Structure 1
Amino acid sequence: MGLIKSKWGWVCVWVAMVNLMTAQVSEATGGYGLWLDYRQVARPELLEHYRESLGSVWMPANRATIGVGRKELLAGLDALLGGGVQEVMDPDKAALLVARWDELPPGITEQTSWEPIGPEGFLIKEIKTDTGSRTVLTATEDIGILYGVFRLLRELQTNRELDGLHIADFPRIALRMLNHWDNLDRTVERGYAGFSIWNWHTLPGYIDPRYRDYARANASIGINGTVLTNVNANAQALTPAFLKKVQALADLFRPYGIKVYLTARFSAPMELGGLDTADPLDPRVEAWWQGKAREIYGLIPDFGGLLVKANSEGQPGPQNYGRTHLEGANMLARALEPFGGLVIWRAFVYSEADPTDRAKQAFTEFVPFNGEFHPNVRLQVKNGPIDFQPREPIHPLFGAMPDTPMLVEFQITKEYLGFATHLAYLPKLFEEALDTNTHWGQGLTLGAIAEGAPTGKRAGGLAGVSNIGTDLNWTGHPFGQADWYGFGRLAWNPSLSSRDIGEEWVRMTIGNDPQVLGPLLEIMLRSREAVVHYMMPLGLHHLFDTGHHYGPGPWVSDLSRPEWNPVYYHQADSLSIGFDRTATGSNALSQYAPGFARTYSDPETCPEEYLLWFHHLPWDFRMPSGHTLWEALGLKYQEGVDAVRGMLRTWEGLEGSLPKGLYQDVGMRLQIQLKEAIWWKDACMAYFQSHSRLPYPEGMEPPLHSLDYYMSLEFPNAPGIRPRWD
C-alpha cells in the first residue's frame, strides 16, 4: 500500500483492502461488484502514467457526500494503481486536487476556466503549473464531486489516456429514477433476479450492507431517485411504522444523491384513515393527504414524492368517484407542494368499459388536460402505447402535451423479452426510442422530452422499471447488469450511443482485451433485434401466454377483457393479419403528428418493423424484398433463431478468454435462449399457418411439433406472475 501521510491514511488503507477483497469475492461468486470491481490496470506503460498523474491526492473537505467520494476515490485508485496512493494535506504536493471550486487554492482557480455545468456537474481538467502537470476535479456542489470521482475512475477502468484531459459533464435530465416493482412481502412483480433487496421486516434496525452497495452503484451512473415500492400499491407503505423503515433507507442514500419515493394507493384515506371515501374533491380526503405529507416530510425532509398508478388494471383512482386524472393528481400535488415533493402520475391507463383501441385510451384521457396539471406533477408515460413490448412505436402522448412535463418510462426488467434467461441488450431499445422523432415541433425526440422540452423547463425525467433482486449478481443474467448500467448512462445523457455504453460496461466488468471486447459487443448489439425477430417480427405484438408472459400464446382468446387476449392484437384469419390503426381501422394514427401519421399510414412507406402494428394486410401482400407477407414473416422468425445460433457460436469462441464461471453461466443461458427462440418460431408459425393454410416458406425450418402440442404446454410456476389485487 505504501506510506500514507494523512489523518485519513489508515482509513483509506482499510477501505482499499475491503474493496480488493470484495472484488476477489465478486469474481468468484458471479459479479456482485457490478461495474465497480476495480482491477489493477494491466498495461504497464499506462499504469505508470496513471501513478504519476494521480498517485497523490488532496481532498480537503469531509462532508457526508465528500466522505463517500473520498472513500471511493482512494480505494478505487489504490486498487487500479496497485497500491501506493497517498492523500496529502498540502495541495502543492498533490498530483490530483479534488474540491469544490470555491474550496480550491486561488492559484488553481485562476488556471481553471469555469464552464456552465450546473449543480450536479463536474469538471476534470489537466492544468500546467511550475512543478508540472496536475489534474483538478471540481464542481459547484458536493454531489458533482461524487459524480466526478466515479467518472475519473471510469476513465482509468476503460484505459483512457489522461494527456490533455478535459471533461466538463453534467446530467441532461433532471430526474433519473428507478421504479422498483417490489411488494412488501419481498416478492417482485415481473422480477427475475430473486426476491426484493428491501427486507422490511428487519428495517430500520438492521441495515443490510447491500443497501449501501446499491446506492453506490446507482450514484456511479447518476441515478438520483428510487421508488421503493410496487406501482400496484399497498396502503401499508404509508403507515407510521413503515415510514420509519423508509427513513432509514433515505438517510443511507442521501450522501449518494439519491432521494426516495413511494407509491401511493389512491384509496389509502379509506384503508388507513377510516374515511368512507377517497374522492379527491372531498375536503376530508385532501386534509388526510396533507396530514400524511406533513408526517412523511417530518421524517424525511428531502422525500422525493409519490408515484401513482390509478384507475388502471384494478387500481383505485379518482374515476371511481366520477373525477378525472387531473383532479386526482392535483389534489395530491397540493398536499406535497409546500414540501417540494413531486406527484408522478402514470399514464398507463386502459379501461374494460372502453371498447376503443387500447393504444388510444391514454391519449384520450390525458391530452384534454395539457397545461392544467400543477407545477409539481409529472406525467410518466411508457415508451410505447401498449406495454413494454419487444418493439413498439412511440407513445402518441409524447409531443402532444407540450405544456406538461413528462417522464419517459422504460422497463429494465425483461417481462416481455425472455426474462433473465435471454440476452437482450436493452440500451439498444432505449436508444431507439429516445432518438425517435415525434414530428411535433422542431424535430422533437423522446430524449428531448425527457430533458424537459418543449416545456422550456428542466422538468423532465427518465424512469426505469428495475431488474434488481437478491441474486448474487443483482440482475439474474450477468448481462442484465449492462441494462441497469445503460439505463443510468442514458438518463445522464440521452444522446449517448448504445455501442459506446456497451463498450464501457464490457471494459469495466470483463476487461479491456480487444480480442474479447469486439466479440462481446457484437453479441450485445445484435441481441435485442434477435429477440424481436423470434418473438414478434414485422410489428406483431402482445403474443405472450397468459399471466406470466412466458413463451408464446397467440391463440389465447378466452380472457375476460378483450385487450388481454393476443388475438385482439394480431387479428389473424384465413385472409390476413395485423391491427389496422389507420383511418379505415381504429384511426390511432390520428393521435400522432401529421408527419408521423403520413409515413405510417401507407403500408408502402410504413417502416417494416411496424407494418403489422398499424396495418391489417393480406397474406400475399408483396414486401419490398419481393417476398409475400407470409414468406417474410416466416423468414423473420428464422432470422431471429439464426441470430441466437450466431451469438452462441461467438460466445463459444471465447472459451478460455473469459472467467470460467461467467463463461459457463452465460453459455447455459444462451442454450436455453436458442431452445426457446425455436419454440417461439415454431409455435407462432404453426398457429398462423392454421389460418393462412399456406406452406411454410423456403428457408424456414418447419415446426418440430404440432400446434396442439404447443397449445397444451402449461407453466404454473413461471416467475413474475402478477399477484391478485383486491
Structure 2
Amino acid sequence: MGAVTAGVTLGAGAGGTARALAGQTPAGSAARRDDDYDGSAMWLRYVPVADPHLLRRYRCQATAVVVENAGRNKSYRHTRDLSMAPGSTERLMASTLEAAREELVRGLGGLLDRPVRVVHRPGRALPDGAVVVGTRESSPAVRRLVPAGDLERVGRDGYVLRSVVQGRRTFTVIAGRTDVGALYGTFAFLRRIQTHRSLADLDLAESPKVVNRHLNYWDTERLYAGNDESGTGGLNGENGAIFNFAATGAGAPLNLPVVLDRYLVAARAMASVGITGITINNVNADNSYLTDEYIAQEAALADALRPYGIRLALSIRYAAPLDSRFAPDTLTEEQMAPTDADFQDWWTRRARRIQESIPDFVGFTVKANSEGQPGPQDFGYDHGDGANGMATAVAPLGLKIYWRTFVYNPDVDSDRLKRAYLEFGHIDDEPQPDGSTGRFRDNVFLQTKNGPLDFQAREPVHPMFGRMENTNQAIELQITQEYTGQNRMLCFLAPMWEEIFKTDTYATDEQGQLLDKRLVGHVVDGTAQDHSDTAVVGVANLGNADNLTGHHFSQANLYAFGRQAWDWTLDSGDIAADWVRMTWGNSREVVDVIVSMMMGSWEALVSYQTPLGIGHQFTAGVHYGPGPSESHLPREDWNPVYYNQADSVGLGYDRSPTGSDLTAQYFPVLAARYGDIGTVPENLMMWFHHVPWDHPMSSGRIFWDELVHHYYSGVRYVGGMRRAWDSLESRIDARRFAEVKAKLALHETDAADWRDTCVGYWQRFSGRDIREPG
C-alpha cells in the first residue's frame, strides 16, 4: 500500500473518472468560504459554482423551475399538531413533488448564486431553460415530452433526465413513473451541477438494482455521532440520537411531534441517494416503541419523513407479548409458540395498531436468540418457525419481517463462524408439501451481515450468500464504524463494500453448473437466483452531532451506502469523487488530495489493525483500541485470543478441512481456494489458516516480516493523510479544517498504538526481530 503525500497519492488511485473530473475545474477557482460552517448540511450545501464559465452556462440551462400540480397528491399526515421547532430553517413538506420543487429552488438558488423563478402554470409555452419535474399523471408537460414506455422501463423508483429541444428553446425534463422517482431524479440533476458535469444533451434513465434500501438505526448502541460519552454535544437531556422520543430537561419540549431541522436534513440526505426506509430503534429492542405513547411519536416522525420517500419500521423484541405494559393484552408463556393462533393474533393486533397511524409502515426487524435477546428457541422452536409465525401475523397487512441471522450459539459448533449457516441453511433446503423447497415465507427477509463474524474491517463473504437459494436475503452492512475507527478515524468504507459486492461466490445450480450471475451483488439484487423482492440494509451512523455523523468524513460512508445500495456496480472512487466535490469543493487540488486520502484509508486501517485475516483483536467492550492478549471475557468467542490462536508455530484460526472446516460451507471453488494455504488470498489467510511464522509470502518476505510490514505501512499511510490534509488549509473553511486536523492527529496516535501493541504481542510468540520496513 502506498503513502499519501501532499497532493500526490501512490498506490491509492481513485479511478479514471475522479481524475478526469478533477481536470474540469481550473485549479485556481475557489468557492466562497464560510469559516464557521459546521457540516450540518452534509453533501447538500449547494455552494455557488466558482468557475465563471460553468456558472454562465448553468444559468442559461436552468432558468426556471416547473413542477405542475405539486400539491395535488398530498402525503398522508396523521399528526394534527406536527410542527417545526422554534427557530427552524427547514420546512415541513406537504407532498413529494413539493419536496422536489423546494429542493430545486434551494439547490439552484445556491449553486447559481441567484433566485430561480418558479412557474406554476406554464401552459404549452415552457420558458427556455426550464427544468420540468413530475410524472405523466401530475404534469401535462411531462406527458407531452416523455413517452409512457420510457417511464415504465425505469420502474417505481427510477427516473429519466432528458434534454428536449423545441425550436430555439431547450428544456430539461426530470420525470419519474412515481412522485418519488421524480424526487430521486431531482437530486440526481442537482448532483450533476454540484459535481460540475454537463447538462447538455441529457438522455439518462436510471433505476435501482435493489428494491428495498433501508437503514437500521441503533438509537442507544454503537452511536458514534452524538452519544453523551463522546462529548459531541446536543441539548441537555438528549441521549445523542438523531430523533428525540424521550429527551428530558431542556430537551423535553423538543420531543416528537416537534420536528427538528436535523430530521429533515437527514431525510433529504437519505432521499438524495435513494434510501427507502429506516428502522428507527436498536435491534436490542425496547418494548417502549410498541406502546401507544411511542406509536404517536413514531407517526409524527413518519409524517415528517414521508414526503421524501422514507418509510418507518421498528425493531421488536420477540417476547414483547409477555410485557405487562400491554396489559390486559398480554400472553402467557404457554401461548408463546410461534405456531399458536394467540401469538400470531397478538402481533396482528399490535401491527394493525401501528398501521392505523402509519399506513405505509414497513414491518419489523427481529434479533432473536442472539446475545441475550429472546426468540423462538426459548419456547422450543427454530428460527423458521419464529420468523414464519410473525410473518403470518403481518402478511394480511402487507408488512415484512426482517429476521437477523446474527446468531452464534456455542452449542451449535465450536467455531463461531459456522453457526449461522448451521441454524438457517437446513430450513432453506427443506421440502414443502406443495413441492417447493424452503420453509421461510415470502414476506420474510433473512438479514445477514456481509461476513460470518461481526463487521470486521475485512472478512470473507458470508457463506450464506448464494446458499439460501429459496429465501429472500438482505445483506446487512455497517455504516457506523464500530470496528473501523468509530468517529475518531477517517475510514472510507465504499471500497470494502465494493469488494464484498463484487466477490464471486462461485454459486452453482442444482446440476452443479456455475451460475452466469453469481457475484454477491447478483445474489443480493436477485438476478443470481430469480428473487424479485430484494434488500440492502445499512446500520446507520446518524446522531445529534452538529455534522450529524460525528466525523466530517463519516458523512461519506452514509452517502456511499446509498449510492451502492442503489447500484452496487458503481466504482467506489467515482463515489468518493462525487462526495468530495459536493462536500469540500471542485478544485483539482482539493479533489485529488481528498479522494486519494479516502481511497487508501480502509486498506490502511486493515493494515494497522487486523492485517492478513487476523480478526476481532479489539479491547473488551468499546471495540476501538487493541487487545490481542485479552482472554478474560465470559464467553470464549468474545476474546481476541480465541481468534488469533497465537503460539510459537504461528498465528490464525485453522478453518481448513483439517481444522474446523468452515470452508465446506462455501461453494466448491471457494472451498478449495480458501482451504489451501497455497491458494487462499493472503488478505484472508488467517481467517482460514494457522499460518507458520516462516511461511513464504508472495512479496518474497516470510509471514512474520509481511505482518510487521503491514502494521508499519498502515500507520505511515495515516501520517501521510495528516500531511495531505494540512496542505489544504488555505482551501478548506476554518472550522471543518481544524476539526478534521484534530481527528487525524488522534487517528495517527491510535494507529501507532495498534501497531505497537499487536506487533509487540505477536513477537512474544514468534521470537523474531522486528525489522521496521524502510
Specify whether residues 519 and 100 from structure 1 end up closer, same or farther in structure 2 by C-alpha distance, changes over 3 A only.
same
Deviations 1:613-655 (A, max 9, x none): 1111211111122211111111111111111111112112222
The answer to whether the Cα contact below 8 Å between 2:427 and 2:440 also exists between their aligned partners in 1 is yes
Find out whether 1:670 has 2:737 as its counterpart.
no
Structure 1 residues 626 and 176 mapped into 2: Cα distance closer, same or farther (>3 Å)? same
Provide the residue aligned with 1:424 in structure 2.
491
The match for 2:667 among 593, 597, 600 is: 593
Q: Does 1:67 align with 2:98?
A: yes
1:236 alignment counterpart: 288
DSSP 3-state at the match of 1:351: coil
Q: Which runs of 5+ in 2 are unaligned?
A: 1-30, 72-94, 228-239, 247-253, 429-437, 508-514
| Residues 1:97 and 2:132 aligned together | yes
- The corresponding residue for 1:395 is 462
- Aligned counterparts of 2:743 and 2:352: Cα–Cα separation in 1: 49
Aligned residue number for residue 19 of structure 1:
none
Residue in structure 2 matched with residue 615 of structure 1 by the alignment: 689
Q: Distance in 1 between matches of 2:170 and 2:217?
A: 45
Q: Paired residue for 1:715?
A: none
Partners of 1:658 and 1:208 in 2: how far apart?
28
Partner of 1:630: 704
Structure 1 segment 684-723 matched on structure 2, within 5 A: 684-699=758-773
Mapped to 2, the partners of 1:354 and 1:367 lie a distance apart of 13
2:49–2:112: 8 Å Cα contact kept in structure 1?
A: yes
Partners of 2:377 and 2:731 lie apart in 1 by 58
For the pair 1:125 / 2:162, whether they are aligned, the reply is yes
Q: In 2 relative to 1, CA 614–443 (structure 1 residues): closer, same or farther, beyond 3 Å?
A: farther
Contact 1:409–1:464 (CA<8 Å) still a contact in 2?
Answer: yes
Q: Secondary structure at the match of 1:34?
A: coil
Q: Within 5 A, what are the aligned runs for 1:377-526?
A: 377-440=444-507, 441-526=515-600
Q: Is the counterpart of residue 274 in structure 1 residue 330 in structure 2? A: yes
**Structure 2 counterpart of 1:80:** 111
Change (3 A) 1:269 1:115: closer
Q: 2-side partners of 1:639 and 1:449: how far apart? A: 35
The 3-state SS of whatever aligns with 2:181 is: helix
Q: How many residues align?
A: 674
* Shift, 1:389, TM fit: 0.3
What does 1:340-355 correspond to in 2, within 5 Å?
340-355=398-413
Check conservation: 2:410, 2:416, Cα contact below 8 A. no
Q: Distance in 1 between matches of 2:616 and 2:277?
A: 30
CA–CA distance in structure 2, aligned partners of residues 114 and 663 of structure 1: 44
For 1:426 and 1:234, locate their aligned partners in 2 and report how far apart those are by CA, in whole Å: 30
On the 8 A contact 2:257/2:301 being kept in 1, the answer is no
Provide the C-alpha distance between the structure 2 equivalents of 1:109 and 1:578, rounded to a whole number of angstroms. 59
Distance 1:439 1:70 in 2: 46
My pick for the range that moved more, 643-652 or 117-126, is: 643-652
- Residue type at the aligned position of 1:52: C
> Residues 140-194 of structure 1, C-alpha deviation per residue, up to 9 Å, x if partnerless?
11111111111111111111111111121111111111111113xxxx4343443
The match for 1:149 is 186
Letter aligned with residue 330 of structure 2: G
Deviations 1:513-552 (A, max 9, x none): 0111101111000000000000011100000011111211
Alpha-carbon shift at residue 254 of structure 1 (Å): 1.2
Q: CA deviation digits over 1:425-458, x for unaligned, max 9?
A: 0111111111111110324122122212334233
SS at match of 1:35: coil
CA contact (8 A) 1:98 1:136 kept: yes
Q: Does 1:35 align with 2:43?
A: yes
Give the stretch that moved more between structures: 114-123 or 519-528.
Answer: 114-123
Q: Which stretch has the larger CA shift, 624-633 or 382-391? A: 624-633
Matching residue of 1:317: 375
Q: Which moved more, 1:131-140 or 1:550-559?
A: 131-140
Paired position in structure 2 for 1:55: 63
State the alpha-carbon separation in 1 of the partners of residues 172 and 411 from structure 2: 63
Instruction: Provide the rounded CA distance (Å) in 2 between the counterparts of 1:601 and 1:44.
Output: 59
Secondary structure class of the residue paired with 2:338: coil
Confirm or deny: 8 A CA contact 1:552 1:680 kept in the other structure. yes
CA contact (8 A) 2:225 2:544 kept: no
SS in 2 for 1:36: coil
Q: Deviations over 1:546-600 (max 9, x none)?
A: 1111211111112111111111101011112111111100000000011111111
Q: Of 343, 362, 379, which aligns to 2:420? A: 362
What CA distance in whole angstroms lies between the structure 1 residues aligned with 2:534 and 2:152?
Answer: 23
Query: Any idea what SS the aligned residue of 2:133 has?
Result: strand
d(CA) in 1 for partners of 2:612 and 2:498?
A: 20
What is the CA deviation profile of residues 646-696 of structure 1, one whole-angstrom value per residue up to 9, with x for unaligned ones? 111211222212112222111111111111111101101111111122221
Quote how far apart the aligned CAs of 1:335 are: 1.2
Report if aligned partners of 1:538, 1:609 keep a CA contact under 8 Å in 2: yes
Give 1:26 deviation, angstroms.
8.1
- The answer to whether the Cα contact below 8 Å between 1:223 and 1:258 also exists between their aligned partners in 2 is yes
Q: TM-score, length-normalised on structure 2?
A: 0.85
Q: Distance in 2 between matches of 1:113 and 1:578?
A: 54
Secondary structure, counterpart of 1:479 in structure 2 = helix
Quote how far apart the aligned CAs of 1:698 are: 4.6
How far apart, in 2, do the equivalents of 1:82 and 1:615 lie? 59
Q: Deviations over 1:316-343 (max 9, x none)?
A: 0000111010000001101111111110
Q: 1:174 to 1:454 in 2, by over 3 A?
A: same
SS at match of 1:116: helix
In structure 2, C-alpha distance between the alignment counterparts of 1:664 and 1:502, rounded to whole Å: 21
3-state SS in 2 of match to 1:229: coil
* 1:544 equivalenced with 2:596 (yes/no): no
Aligned to 1:713: none
Q: Scaled by the length of structure 1, what TM-score is found?
A: 0.90
1:264 correspondence with 2:316: yes
Q: Which has the higher contact order (CA 8 A, sep 6+)?
A: 2
Per-residue Cα deviation, 1:210-245 (whole angstroms, up to 9, x for no partner):
222221111111110100000001112111111111
> Would the alpha carbon gap of residues 173 and 113 (structure 1) be closer, same or farther in structure 2, given more than 3 Å must change?
closer
Following superposition, the deviation at residue 356 of structure 1 comes to 2.0
CA distance in 2, matches of 1:225, 1:25: 34
Counterpart-to-counterpart distance in 2, 1:553 and 1:155: 45
Indicate whether 1:559 and 2:633 are aligned: yes
User: How far apart, in 2, do the equivalents of 1:114 and 1:258 lie?
Assistant: 21
Partners of 2:713 and 2:614 lie apart in 1 by 15
Shift of 1:281: 2.7
Secondary structure of the residue aligned to 2:731 is: coil
> Could you say if the C-alpha distance between residues 111 and 572 of structure 1 is closer, same or farther in structure 2, counting changes exceeding 3 Å?
closer
| Cα offset, 1:27, TM superposition | 6.2
Question: Secondary structure, in 3 states, of the residue corresponding to 1:380?
Answer: strand
CA distance in structure 2 between the partners assigned to 1:34 and 1:479 by the alignment: 10
Q: Which residue identity lines up with residue 218 of structure 1 in the other structure?
A: M
Separation (CA, whole Å) in 2 of partners of 1:190 and 1:364: 31
The corresponding residue for 1:227 is 279
Mapped contact 2:256–2:300 kept (Cα < 8 A): yes
CA contact (8 A) 2:505 2:520 kept: yes
Which secondary structure state, in structure 2, belongs to the residue aligned with residue 424 of structure 1?
Answer: coil
Shift of 1:299: 1.4
Asked whether the 8 Å contact 1:147–1:222 carries over to 2, the reply is yes
Partners of 2:641 and 2:144 in 1: how far apart?
A: 71
- Are 1:352 and 1:561, in contact at CA under 8 Å, matched by a contact in 2? no
